Structure 1
Amino acid sequence: MKILVLGAGAVGTAAAYYLARDGHEVTVIERHAGPAGGTSYANGGLVSPGDATAWASPEALKTFVRGIFNHDLGIRVRLGRDPYLLAWGLRFLRQCTPARKRANTLPKLRLAFYSRDSINALSEETGVAYDDRRKGILYLFRSRESLDAAAGNYRFLADHGLPIEIVDAERMAQIDPGLAAARRHFAGAVYSPTDQTGDSRLFATRLSAYAAEKLGVDFRFNTTVEGLDIDGDIVRAVRTDAGPFTADCVVLAMGPESGVLGRRHGLDLPICPVKGYAATIPLEDEALGPTMGGADEDRYVAYSRLGNRLRLSCTAEFTGFDRSFGPENFAAMFRTAHELFPGAFDEAKAELWAGLRPMTPGSAPVLGRARYRNLYLDTGHGHLGWTLAAGSGRLLADLIAGRSPEIDTDGLLYRN
């Protein structure tokens, strides 16, 4: 079958790999000059089932409302005059109940486990390396109160298969000696030993090269999708600035832009762009940096060790499709990072970046067949896009092939 994949981030590239491995003729259309030019360019680097708890929750409801008025929080909401953001916010608020939080978390966790195992198997099958470390992730808490408040979420994940250890600051520093100087600032941490880290841009870049060379995938970069030509319940062609592309099947994996394209063609894709900031910095003294990934949960700062580089990320900013940034957006992140890893890096050498996460109100991705018979969705992965990329692509390949997926799809498949 001839298949078009729209988008060459970590999600789209993984889908293209699994589809081509099944023997399909795959073409990938991407508006950037290469793979992972958008959301996958510089995320936090965490492959983290331990972070699968749905954003929408009673606690998030309070933070979301506070973020409208206080832009110094890790979550910032700038409603402006955007009617879509207002409508999305109302849908998000309806998900902020204990029952919906549990219902939204479980499918994400199931897919996150599957995806973590899938990316490891993919790496072993292809030889694709991406500065991965399979040493676990530490979720850090500065007060006993915040640790106790979060423990319920982690115990819920543990009850459904996630190994965790709740540790004090001394044990935290034993697990990651890079935190030895910072342990006095923390009450403790949650250690998730089966979580891991890696560079999503390296993954997408190297996997796309492998898929092109070994599997014949045709990547069309610098090509912008403009719309779909629909005939009844079939997508006849994808319109681009380089002309139309036809195929038997189309996969929509355009991150935050997926929602805009989908709504233009009658699809209810409740995807909101949520801006995050990231910095990638060479380590001046590798012994003073982290040996694994982690997150300062009270400051909303995540970090990863990617080879000899430190990746930092922070903030969830609801501000539409604005990707602009300035030094002021990174000041709090750097203050926290210097506290965590004093002497490890020189922030003047940082590569700064801002990108958009494609968030749904319930935090679960949008997967499966759409209202058109040959249009499939692989988008809306939110803050876990890197974690869920491989598993989503593998699941989608099963659906397109007519195979029974290897995991329970309850709560994962799109309903329009």
Structure 2
Amino acid sequence: MKVVVLGAGVVGTAAAYYLASDGHEVTVVDRHSRAGRGTSQSNAGLVSPGDATAWASPAAFRTFLQALWNHDLGIKVRLRFDPYFLAWSLRFVRQCTVARLRANSKVKLRLALYSRHCINALSVDTGIHYDERKKGILYFFRSQKSLDTGTDNYRYLAEHGLPIEIIDRDRLIELEPGLAAAKEKIAGGVYSPIDQTGDSSHFVEKLAVYAAENLGVRFLYGTTVEGLDIEGDRVRAVVTSSGPVAAGAVVIAMGPESGLLGRRYGVDLPVYPVKGYTATVPLEDENEGPTMGGVDEDQRIAYSRLGNRLRLASTAEFTGFDRTFQPRDFAAMFKTGKELFPGAFDEKKAELWAGLRPMMPSSVPVIGQARYKNLYLDTGHGHVGWTMACGSGKFLADLVAGRKTEIDPQGLVYRN
């Protein structure tokens, strides 16, 4: 079957790989000049089942309200007239209960654990490497109070299959000597040994090349999706800036733009863009800096070691589709980075970036058939698209093939 995948980010490219591996004739359409130039270009670098806790929670609701006037928080809300954001916010608020937090986190964890298995199997099968490190990830807290309250969500994930170790500062420094200079600033944390790190941009670029050369996937770069040609209950073709592309099936994997396209055709897809910022900086000495990924939970700063580079990431900013940034947007990130790893990097050498995460109110991505018999979704992965991409792609390929999925589909399969 001819399958057209809309979007060549890590989610769309992974879906194309698995669909082509099933024998489908796959075409990928993307407006950028090569794969992984949108949301997948830069992120925290964490492949992190340990970060499977849903965003929507009673605590997040309070922070969300505070962010309306306090712009010094990790979450920033820029008030503006945006009916779509208002509708999204109301749905988000409905997810901010303990019951929904638990249910959504359980679904995210199931997919994240599966996806970690898929990416590692894919790496073995294709020989693709992407500055990966499989040493685990540390989630740490600066005060005993935040440690005591912050570990509750991790304990819940542990009850549902995530191996973790609750650690004090001595054990933390034993695991990550790179944090020795900041030891007195840290109370303790959570160590997730199966988590890992890697460069999503390197991964998706190499996977696109592999899929094209070995599986016959056709990539139409520099091509804008203008709409869908629909007849009855099926999509006949994708209308693009380069002309129509005939399709036996279409997969929407356009990241934050997915909702814009979907709602034009009656698909209830509440994906909203949430801006995040990253800085990638060379290490002055490769013996300095972290040896694994980590998250400073109190400062809401994540980091990873990518070869001889340090990646810093922070902020969830609700500002529509604005991708612009100013040097001041990275000030808190660099301040924290210098506290944790003094002397490890020179911020003047940093490559700065801002991109949009495709966020669902529930934090759970949507995968599967939507409204039309041959229209599929693989989108809404939020801040863990890199973590969930391969599992989502394999899950989608099973749905398209009519096979039983390898994991429980409950809570994942799209319902319009």
TM, length-normalised to structure 2: 0.99
Task: For residue 149 of structure 1, give the secondary structure of its aligned residue in structure 2.
Answer: helix
Q: Write the deviation string for residues 355-383 of structure 1: whole angstroms up to 9, x where unpaired.
A: 00000000000110001000110000001
Are 1:301 and 2:305 matched, yes or no?
no
What amino acid is the match of 2:349? Answer: K
Q: Write the deviation string for residues 91-116 of structure 1: whole angstroms up to 9, x where unpaired.
A: 10000000111111111100000000
Other-structure match for 1:108: 108
Other-structure match for 2:220: 220
Are 1:403 and 2:372 matched, yes or no?
no
8 Å Cα contact 1:79-1:85 kept in structure 2: no
What amino acid is the match of 1:213? Answer: E
Task: For residue 287 of structure 2, give the secondary structure of its aligned residue in structure 1.
Answer: helix
How far off is 1:83 after superposition?
1.0
How many residues are matched? 416
Task: For residue 405 of structure 1, give the secondary structure of its aligned residue in structure 2.
Answer: coil
Distance 2:204 2:327 in 1: 28
Q: Write the deviation string for residues 318-343 of structure 1: whole angstroms up to 9, x where unpaired.
A: 01000000100000000000001111
How far off is 1:230 after superposition?
1.1
8 Å Cα contact 1:5-1:251 kept in structure 2: yes
What amino acid is the match of 1:4? Answer: V
How far off is 1:79 after superposition?
2.6
How far off is 1:312 after superposition?
0.6
Task: For residue 373 of structure 2, give the secondary structure of its aligned residue in structure 1.
Answer: coil
Distance 1:6 1:63 in 2: 34
What amino acid is the match of 1:15? Answer: A
Distance 2:322 2:410 in 1: 34
Are 1:192 and 2:192 matched, yes or no?
yes
Q: Write the deviation string for residues 367-416 of structure 1: whole angstroms up to 9, x where unpaired.
A: 10001000110000001100000000000000101110000000001100
What amino acid is the match of 2:408? Answer: D
Distance 2:298 2:230 in 1: 47
Task: For residue 410 of structure 1, give the secondary structure of its aligned residue in structure 2.
Answer: coil
Distance 2:107 2:277 in 1: 27
Other-structure match for 1:52: 52
Other-structure match for 1:335: 335
Are 1:141 and 2:145 matched, yes or no?
no
Distance 2:345 2:10 in 1: 28
Alignment of 1:39-118 (within 5 A): 39-118=39-118
Other-structure match for 2:122: 122
How far off is 1:316 after superposition?
0.1
- Identity across the alignment (%): 69
Other-structure match for 2:254: 254
Distance 1:213 1:378 in 2: 24
- Structure 1 unaligned runs (5+)? none
8 Å Cα contact 1:79-1:86 kept in structure 2: no
Distance 1:47 1:241 in 2: 34
Which portions of structure 1, spanning 4 or more consecutive aligned residues, are displaced by more than 4 angstroms? none
Distance 1:313 1:407 in 2: 31
8 Å Cα contact 1:234-1:374 kept in structure 2: yes
What amino acid is the match of 2:393? Answer: G
Distance 2:215 2:183 in 1: 48
What amino acid is the match of 2:79? Answer: L
Distance 2:247 2:270 in 1: 26
CA RMSD of aligned residues (A): 0.6
Task: For residue 258 of structure 2, give the secondary structure of its aligned residue in structure 1.
Answer: helix
Q: Write the deviation string for residues 261-314 of structure 1: whole angstroms up to 9, x where unpaired.
A: 001111110101000000111111121210000011111110000011111100
TM, length-normalised to structure 1: 0.99
Are 1:387 and 2:380 matched, yes or no?
no
How far off is 1:68 after superposition?
0.9
Q: Write the deviation string for residues 35-57 of structure 1: whole angstroms up to 9, x where unpaired.
A: 11110000100000100011000
